[in-house]
């Protein structure tokens, strides 16, 4: 396999990738003794390069090195840690387009989304740099004379990060940028099907550590399968595990981490809905639903999977939406005119097709796409589908990872809210309306039960400044902005007696 003879792959050399790559970076060196796997392009199912995965022995060696680097990084002043993260952001800026192209090549999302994912990491670095000078606790009044109370925030030590294929770079950035400025070493396992993105991302970060004379063990990357993820979940040396993936696997991870009294940050399944009221701006709503439903070929956790349209505008709105679907260009994600790329793997396509059959068997009526509309075998492209079905159907309660949109009618806002909240998941939701009364009910205590509650924007495309995450079967975790940093540190309530007597709280006299 020669990148030089394949012009479309030459950018991989600029990222430091080779035809065969070591898939474990631990203790500042690349060394892996696991099995060899091929990274496949979703657009063709053809191999891009080979990766030697890390073994459990590699994991143990890497964790020991990480432990040895932990204390020095914890004692590095937070603004100095922020300076390192600033340099990491600059390194990603230099590799913005090439890394974005690799994400499109290996994950399958269209090029603008691949580049946008790298930009998200850059934005997180900028956010974390500012945060490094604001990791502040409270000063609290004491009821005892000559006493002062304060909150002190200290690093956890090591943070484990397990990410999914659909955002093979950005979700690492959400966690690692914050974890690093908070004083933690990071141990990362990316998705087994996107190892090249994991390696390229790690090379960028490792280069910054090396140029600053810092231990490479501050950041560890191990490519591998479920056995590496299980090792991270069970490892008592890792106080916090951030896991992104399905609710089913998330429950297993949570059980392992909880059994050793660790902390878990879960970002799991979404079954997101958009509500379109009869006073909505229909043009804005159609464009938003289109992007929310088919962006990343429906493989975002924030993808819109359920659409509730007021009965007064239902027919007109659905006609406009079906027309918009007819204008979608499904094709090679690296071509600039493609709006929808392939599903990530042949297994993803098979699961999508089986899902369409289940929908048909439960009375679904396809308005676009449907069973038998996918492309030829050997490729992972599918036709974005719209289906009318009862909102009580079993398939509606589950997340089918692909460009599938269920559509329903409703009469009242209360009915729409009830349907929005009727599924096990609770990640993202959105409503389109011009009514202030409707808006404030939607975002209030009897409105949407999701962690992300939008108005007049899609369910996807979240900014990094706000905390990202959801409720119920979505796991309850929060990543990225706001005060999410507190999850990566532990709080110590400190009371200082600067007097010469020992008064006790609650007026207790122990003399």
Active site (catalytic) residues = 267
CA pair distance 429, 182, nearest whole angstrom: 31
Biggest CA–CA distance in the chain, Å, is 86
Alpha carbon separation from 364 to 236, 322, 451 (Å, rounded) = 47, 16, 29
Instruction: Return the C-alpha torsion angle 175, 181, 183, 189, nearest 10.
Output: 30
CA pair distance 192, 35, nearest whole angstrom: 12
With CA atoms as reference, report the closest residue to 101 among 187, 163, 169, 37: 169
CA pair distance 221, 27, nearest whole angstrom: 10
Any bridge partners for residue 187, and if so which? 160, 220
Alpha carbon separation from 221 to 58, 93, 190, 358 (Å, rounded) = 10, 21, 8, 39
Alpha carbon separation from 423 to 130, 212, 290, 309, 356 (Å, rounded) = 38, 49, 22, 18, 19
Q: Edge-to-edge strand order for the sheet containing 428-432?
A: 365-368, 385-388, 404-410, 304-310, 272-276, 428-432, 452-455
Any bridge partners for residue 465, and if so which? none
Instruction: Return the C-alpha torsion angle 108, 329, 45, 267, nearest 10.
Output: 30
With CA atoms as reference, report the closest residue to 99 among 183, 173, 180, 1: 173
Q: What is the DSSP string of 255-307?
A: HHHHHTT-EEEEE----EEEEE-TTS-HHHHHHHHHHHHHGGGG-STT-EEEE
Neighbours of 390 (CB within 10 A): 13
Give the pairing of strands 20-26 and 47-53: parallel
């Amino acid at each position: 396999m020669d990148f030089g003879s394949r012009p479309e792959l030459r950018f991989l050399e600029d990222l430091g990738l080779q035809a065969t790559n070591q898939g474990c970076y631990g203790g500042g060196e690349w060394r892996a003794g696991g099995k060899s796997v091929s990274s496949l392009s979703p657009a063709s199912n053809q191999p891009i390069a080979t990766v030697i995965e890390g073994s459990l022995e590699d994991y143990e060696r890497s964790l020991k090195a990480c432990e040895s680097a932990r204390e020095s990084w914890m004692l590095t002043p937070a603004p100095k840690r922020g300076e390192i993260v600033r340099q990491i952001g600059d390194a990603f800026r230099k590799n913005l387009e090439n890394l974005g192209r690799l994400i499109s090549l290996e994950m399958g999302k269209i090029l603008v989304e691949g580049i946008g994912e790298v930009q998200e990491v850059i934005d997180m670095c900028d956010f974390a740099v500012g945060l490094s000078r604001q990791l502040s606790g409270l000063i609290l009044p004491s009821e005892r004379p000559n006493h002062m109370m304060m909150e002190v925030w200290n690093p956890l030590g090591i943070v484990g990060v397990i990410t999914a294929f659909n955002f093979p770079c950005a979700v690492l950035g959400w966690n690692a940028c914050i974890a690093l400025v908070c004083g933690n070493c990071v141990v990362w396992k990316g998705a087994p099907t996107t190892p090249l993105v994991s390696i390229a991302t790690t090379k960028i970060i490792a280069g910054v550590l090396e140029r600053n004379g810092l231990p490479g063990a501050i950041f560890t990357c191990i490519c591998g399968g479920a056995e590496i993820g299980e090792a991270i979940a069970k490892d008592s040396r890792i106080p916090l595990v951030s896991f992104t993936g399905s609710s089913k696997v998330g429950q297993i991870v949570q059980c392992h981490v909880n059994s050793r009294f660790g902390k878990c940050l879960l970002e799991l399944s979404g079954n997101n809905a958009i509500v379109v009221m009869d006073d909505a701006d229909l043009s804005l709503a159609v464009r938003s639903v289109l992007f929310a439903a088919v962006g990343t070929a429906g493989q975002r956790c924030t993808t819109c999977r359920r659409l509730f349209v007021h009965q007064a505008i239902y027919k007109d709105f659905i006609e406009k939406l079906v027309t918009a679907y007819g204008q979608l260009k499904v094709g090679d994600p690296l071509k600039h005119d493609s709006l929808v790329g392939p599903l990530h793997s042949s297994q993803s396509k098979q699961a999508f097709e089986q899902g369409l059959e289940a929908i048909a068997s439960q009375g679904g009526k396809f308005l676009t796409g449907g069973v038998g509309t996918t492309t030829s075998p050997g490729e992972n492209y599918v036709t974005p589908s719209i289906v009318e079905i009862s909102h009580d159907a079993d398939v509606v309660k589950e997340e089918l990872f692909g460009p599938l949109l269920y559509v329903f009618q409703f009469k009242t806002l209360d009915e729409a809210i009830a349907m929005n909240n009727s599924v096990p998941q609770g990640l993202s939701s959105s409503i389109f309306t011009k009514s202030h009364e409707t808006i404030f009910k939607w975002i209030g205590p009897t409105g949407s039960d999701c962690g992300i509650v939008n108005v007049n924007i899609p369910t996807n495309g979240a900014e990094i400044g706000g905390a990202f995450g959801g409720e119920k079967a979505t796991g309850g975790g929060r990543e990225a902005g706001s005060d999410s940093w507190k999850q990566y540190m532990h709080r110590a309530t400190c009371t200082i007696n600067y007097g010469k007597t020992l008064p006790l709280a609650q007026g207790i006299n122990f003399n």
